[in-house]
Amino acid sequence: MGKISKSTLNKVLLRTQGCQFAHNYERMQSLSLTYCFAPVLEELYKDAPKEERVNAMKRHLEYFNTHPLAIPFILGITAALEESTDEDQKDTVVGIKTSLMGPFAGLGDSLLNLTWFPIAGSIGASMCVDNGSIVGPLVMFLLINLLYWPLKYFGLHKGYEMGMELVEKAGVQVFDRLGNLANVLGVMVTGGLVATTVKLKLAVQFAFGEGDPLVLQDQLDKVLPFLLPVVLTFICYRLLKKGQGKNSAQIIIGLIVFSLVFAAIGFYFPAFKIFA
Partner 1 sequence: MLQALLLAIWAGLCTWDQFGPHLGFRKPLLASVGVGIILGDMTTAIMIGATMELMWLGVNNIGAYVPPDVISGTIVGAALGIMGGGDTASAIALAVAIGIPTATLVQQLNILVMTTNVSLVHGADKAIESGKFNAVNKFFWTGALCFFLTRAVPVFIATGIGSFVIEDIMNFLQNQVPWVLSGFSTAGGMMPAVGLAMLLTMMMKKNMWIFLLLGFIMAAFLNVPTVGIALAACAAAGVWDVITEGQKNQPAPAAAPAAGSDDDEEYDL
Q: How far is the CB of 85 from partner 1 (least distance, A)?
A: 20
CA distance 110 to 183: 7
Q: How far is the CB of 209 from partner 1 (least distance, A)?
A: 30
Sites for partner 1 among residues 208-237 (CB under 8 A) = 224-226, 229-230, 232-237
Selected from 4, 74, 76, 110, the binder of partner 1 by CB under 8 A is 110
Q: How many of the chain's residues bind partner 1 (CB under 8 A)?
A: 116
Kindly tell me which of 214 and 224 has the beta carbon lying closer to partner 1: 224
Q: How far is the CB of 93 from partner 1 (least distance, A)?
A: 17
Kindly tell me which of 87 and 212 has the beta carbon lying closer to partner 1: 87
From first CA to last CA, the distance across the chain in angstroms is: 67
CB 71 within 8 A of CB 154: no
Output phi, psi for 64, to 5 deg: -150, 135
Please choose, out of 4-12, 24-32, 77-85, 87-95, the segment that lies near partner 1 by the rule CB under 8 A. Answer: 24-32
Q: How far is the CB of 210 from partner 1 (least distance, A)?
A: 30
Helices (H), the chain: 6-16, 30-44, 50-60, 71-84, 90-108, 117-126, 135-162, 165-170, 173-197, 216-223, 227-242, 248-268
CA distance 198 to 228: 9
Judged by CB under 8 A, does residue 96 bind partner 1? no
Sites for partner 1 among residues 125-184 (CB under 8 A) = 125-126, 128-134, 136-137, 140-141, 144-145, 148, 170-171, 174, 177-178, 180-184
Sites for partner 1 among residues 53-92 (CB under 8 A) = 53-54, 57-58, 61, 65, 68-69
CA distance 121 to 181: 20
Selected from 48, 96, 185, 202, the binder of partner 1 by CB under 8 A is 185
CA distance 154 to 147: 11
Left (φ > 0), alpha (ψ -120 to 50) or beta: where does 209 sit? left
Selected from 5, 7, 24, 219, the binder of partner 1 by CB under 8 A is 24
Judged by CB under 8 A, does residue 98 bind partner 1? no
Kindly tell me which of 7 and 259 has the beta carbon lying closer to partner 1: 259
Please list, in sequence order, all residues whose beta carbon lies within 8 angstroms of the beta carbon of residue 123, skipping any fewer than 6 positions away: 139, 140, 143
Please choose, out of 46-54, 74-82, 159-167, 210-218, the segment that lies near partner 1 by the rule CB under 8 A. Answer: 46-54
Judged by CB under 8 A, does residue 34 bind partner 1? yes
CA distance 187 to 115: 8
Selected from 3, 188, 213, 272, the binder of partner 1 by CB under 8 A is 188
CA distance 43 to 139: 40
Residue type, 213: P
Q: How far is the CB of 6 from partner 1 (least distance, A)?
A: 20
